[in-house]
Amino acid sequence: MMGRINIKIAQLFFMCGFVAFLSGCGGNELDDLKEYVAEVKSRKQTSLEQLPEIRPSETFLYSSNERRDPFVASVQTEDTEIIDENGPHPDFKRRKQELESYSLDSLRMVGTMRLSNIMWALIKAPGGTVHRVHVDNYMGQNHGQIISINENQIDLVEIIPNGYGGWKENQSQLVLSE
């Protein structure tokens, strides 16, 4: 019986404390909020522009009666090339050279030099390393082979896919950077 009385007393103290807590929440501290609300309500109201009328677009039901399928090419383009087994193609068995791991536009020609009547070009790779190359070396990611070097540029022949399963040659240059 004594335990029930203790619980009842604890509940009574809790309720008294809760009422005291809530009584502290009242007061006139909200006056500034009430003033702001009144000021916002008193502002002149502006009218919004009317939304433009949305006109539904005309629908079109496609019927393929004698019309071509829009997802199938009807005419071959001029670039269509016949796959030629004897045409240009890269040598995939050849061991790749170091400058073939970089794209051609990331390489910079920084100079030339002549040693034993052989013209060498100096190529700076993205990491800052300078490489020596000569005619018949390869560089760039498109199987680019150097065909000539002069003091101002390197001429290359790249072998690139033609988009139809074959390959084609593409002339490229790397010009001396200043």
DSSP string, the chain: -HHHHHHHHHHHHHHHHHHHHHHTT-SSTTHHHHHHHHHHHHSPP-PPPPPPPPPPPPP-----SSPPPTTS--S--TT-----TTS----TTSPPPGGGGS-GGG-EEEEEEEETTEEEEEEE-TTS-EEEE-TT-EETTTTEEEEEE-SSEEEEEEEEE-SSSSEEEEEEEEEBP-
Check if the beta carbon of residue 114 is closer than 8 Å to that of residue 120.
Answer: yes
Within a domain: 76? no
- In whole angstroms, how far apart are CA 83 and each of 103, 127, 168? 26, 38, 10
Within a domain: 151? yes
The pLDDT score that the predictor gives to residue 84 is: 63
Within a domain: 92? no
**Domain housing 112:** 98-175
The pLDDT score that the predictor gives to residue 122 is: 94
Residue 123: partners with Cβ closer than 8 Å, 6 or more residues away: 99, 107, 108, 109, 110, 130, 131, 132, 133, 139, 174
Within a domain: 102? yes
The CATH number linked to 168 is 2.30.30.830
Number of domains into which the chain is organized = 1
Q: Which amino acid is located at 122 in the chain?
A: L
Within a domain: 113? yes
The pLDDT score that the predictor gives to residue 74 is: 61
Within a domain: 19? no
Residues linked to residue 141 through DSSP beta bridges, in sequence order: none
Check if the beta carbon of residue 146 is closer than 8 Å to that of residue 97.
Answer: no
Within a domain: 168? yes
Within a domain: 38? no
What does the pLDDT look like over 12-60, one tens digit per residue? 878 877 777 766 666 567 788 888 989 988 888 888 888 888 888 888 7
Q: Compute the CA torsion angle 128, 133, 138, 139 (nearest 10 deg).
A: 20
Q: pLDDT averaged over the chain? A: 83
% of the chain exceeding 70 in pLDDT: 86
